[in-house]
Chains A and B, each alone.
Chain A
Amino acid sequence: MSAITITPISTFRTEDPYPFCPGCGHGPILDRLNEAMIKLDLDPTKVVIVSDIGCSGLSDQYFVTSAFHGLHGRSTTYATGIKLANPDLEVVVIMGDGGTGIGGTHLISAARRNIGITVIVMNNLNFGMTGGQHSTTTPEGGITSTTPLGNLEHPLDICATVGVNGAAYVYRGTSFDRDLADRFTAAMRKPGFALLDVWDLCTAYYVRSNKFTRAGMEDSMRSWGMEPGLLYDRETVEYSVGYRAAHAAIVGTPVAGARPVPVGYAHTLDRPMSIVVAGSAGGKVRSAVRLVALGGIRSGLWAAQRDDYPVTVKSGHSVTELWLAPTEMPLTAVTNPDVLAIISSDGYKKAGPYLAAMTAEDLVLTIPDHRDLETQARVVVIDPKSAPNRIPKTSMGLVYLSAALAITKPYPLDALRETAGAGSFAEINLEAVETGIDLATG
């Protein structure tokens, strides 16, 4: 056995030269990143460089770390997934100003979450790869191939945007900053979301069209109200750590599984029976039908309910179709129900096709408002005012369904009582069941 000497890795770069134009700032920025990774003594197999699209998107190929080269502007989303699934990884995003534009919402959200990734924006103020078009960070007045007379849009302040939205570490500088490697080091050490907006020269386009120089870069920043330097440095809980802490108590607890309904009654159906409740959203129509279905299952029946309602939550109609069947049946629509309960005017408006299809053997229960409805079916008007107590709107469905079951008797009423008494709102539901039975039989 000999002593093992651990030598820090001497470079994270491959031997390939960068593909960037002469004078482009991207190469120097990547060299500073290399220095930072050496300084942090990172294990290259535990580093993932996530790159975007454009010239910056070529960067990852020149490092010996792992890499994810994805689609334009989405690099922060991949980085978020990579970090969430394995918080031990060091995740560095390299994107351009183009990516910050198309993926702006992802940057904001990554900052708000404080996901532990480091985003390096190579900000050269235009689209270098596709022909020098203007980007979200092109200065007002900037000449580009798509703003030949000068840019009319205000440049995006990337740092302010992520900074005011919670980012842990935010720095603005240029590719010429002597301490850039240290800034990268600090950013990678920082728990939470870090972003470095590093301005550099696009010698192919922006420099040529705007006489833009190194000397003018910092002055320009100030004149546009974008201060250079360390802009935000705050203590935060990194998201993947916070997520695991928040859920620690439920890890290992059983997932929700099947909850079979106990069978204790015998039904009387020899063929499928369909019931439709036509009411109003917010009136607990679906919950009432669910109770009746559970009562059926408790009696050995099969059941299925199909709900129809508008996108709004507590306004408009709520119509639910229920099948009770002695044998298993596939999901189908109810076209001519055996029983239709109209419990509100919203519901009545949706009941036309059912009423038209129903025949003399079928049963319609309705509130008095619609006593004159047209149908071949037998119509029973139930006046909720004849109940001893006022029936709340949210109990109307269960009252009318209970009345329907009391008249048609597909399964024992005790199965319904037991179901109503076993679930949430037991007292209210039991009262509704008894009221419905009384109104139908009394």
Chain B
Amino acid sequence: MKTSTEAPRREYVDGATAIVRGALDAGCTFFAGYPITPASGILMAMMRELPKVGGVAMQGEDEIASMGMCLGAAMSGAKAMTATSGPGISLYSESIGLAIMGEVPIVIVDVQRLGPATGGATTAAQGDVQFVRWGTAGGYPVIVLAPSSVPESYSLTVKAFELAERFRCPVFLLTDKELAMTLSAVDVDEYPATRGAERLEKHEGLPYSWEPADAVEPMRRYGEGDAFRFTGSTHDEGAYITKNPAKVAASNEHLVAKIEAHCDEIEMVDVDLISGAETIVVSYGVTAGAARTAVERLRAEGISVSNLVVQSLWPIPESALATAFEGVERIIVPELNMGLYRREVERIAAGREVIGVNRIDGGLITIDEIMEAVR
């Protein structure tokens, strides 16, 4: 612990660097990505750093190849990560489905920029919040974490690896141009190095099991123990393609149950509740900065307002939100899109007034805009 007599240990660092450090500390051994603003900083840093720990970093010929390499490497025992922005997530779509179906742990960083299409490459946005959730065919769940600061960019990256291993599924780290590229003074002691847990593996037997439905089977790795299979098609426990309705149902229901039955292990929010406050601000990502400051200033003016920053966007932290909404009459949801997460909040708000503060011109939502909405 740092004592007040010591000089502060601060560095000047961006979110991309924190993500790279988080990945390395989590035990990442494989990275593949394709250059895209504003995610290229992560690619370049991984190319420099990963070989030092004996890992491999690749620049794929495109985003599709980058994801394919990550999934192949993960099946050879690597802890894999990739990073891109919205246009790259579009190309990741089929591979996201493959990772879900084949139950491959992978961390996917989406450094959001303003869309649609090429949109604004150097412009912040939060337009991918639903896209990462529903970005592949079938509608099966994924996990999405959203840091709102440099230290969280580190800690949630470590967490993303942990959850990817725990649930054998793709985990998104949803950040944006400003969080990834803005240099900030950070207290070095605010993100102490954490080591990621080793992968839970087994070296014999079938690669899949879904009995009970929410149980996650340890990973196999190519070259260790007996031979085993992997497929992106509907399959039985041995990854043999099947159309047997009972097998297909068991396999697909497992993909849902393993995450939805364990929301409590994933749910993460930063709550700052004032007893009796009629209004709560619910934000995530870069917008949380303005929200936190706005709430602080409103309280200084004597206005009672609660604040909640969502860190685990998907699955939606339903119980934490419902608890925070008790006794609240109004919910303010600022986000850099036209209300994409607000609709989720509305569902949980159970009739309470939900007000969006929205911006899609490339600028950040200001402290004043949030204060205005609360007043």
A residues at B contact (CB < 8 Å): 44-48, 50, 58, 60-61, 64-71, 74, 76-86, 88-89, 105-106, 108-109, 240, 243, 247, 250-263, 290, 293-294, 296-297, 300-311, 328-333, 335
Contact = CB atoms under 8 A, between A and B. Distances in A.
A333 B49 contact: no
Given A45-B225, A297-B185, A77 B60 contact: yes
B375 interface: no
Contacts of B49: 255-256
B222 A310 contact: no
A247 B48 CA distance: 10
Contacts of B68: 70-71, 74, 76-78, 80-81, 106
14 contacts: A46-B223, A61-B240, A66-B228, A68-B75, A69-B230, A71-B95, A81-B68, A85-B78, A240-B56, A256-B17, A260-B10, A302-B10, A308-B122, A331-B178
A297 B179 CA distance: 19
Nearest to A257: B21
Interface stretch (B284-292, B320-328, B350-358): B284-292
A61 B65 contact: no
A37 to B, nearest CB: 12
Nearest to B148: A330
- Main DSSP-derived SS at the A contact region: mixed
Which 3 pairs between the two chains have the least Cβ-Cβ distance?
Answer: A77-B68, A81-B72, A330-B289
B187 A251 contact: no
B154 to A, nearest CB: 10
Interface in B44-61: 45, 48-49, 51-54, 56, 58, 60-61
Contacts of B9: 258, 260
Contact of A45 (B32, B75, B77, B226): B226
Contacts of B74: 81, 85
A258 B13 contact: yes
A67 B51 contact: no
A77 B293 contact: no
Given A74-B65, A330-B290, 17 more contacts: A65-B227, A69-B239, A79-B72, A80-B68, A80-B69, A80-B72, A82-B222, A85-B30, A89-B223, A106-B61, A247-B51, A255-B53, A258-B13, A260-B11, A311-B122, A329-B293, A331-B289
A307 B182 contact: yes
A440 to B, nearest CB: 25
Nearest to B181: A307
B179 A331 contact: yes
Interface in B10-63: 10-13, 17, 21, 24, 29-30, 32, 37, 45, 48-49, 51-54, 56, 58, 60-62
A79 to B, nearest CB: 6
A251 B11 contact: no
Given A65-B227, A106-B61, A333-B364, A77 B48 contact: no
B73 interface: yes
B12 A70 contact: no
A287 B364 CA distance: 22
B155 interface: no
Nearest to B7: A263
B12 A293 contact: yes
Interface in B225-269: 225-233, 239-241
A393 to B, nearest CB: 21
Contact of A84 (B69, B187, B368): B69
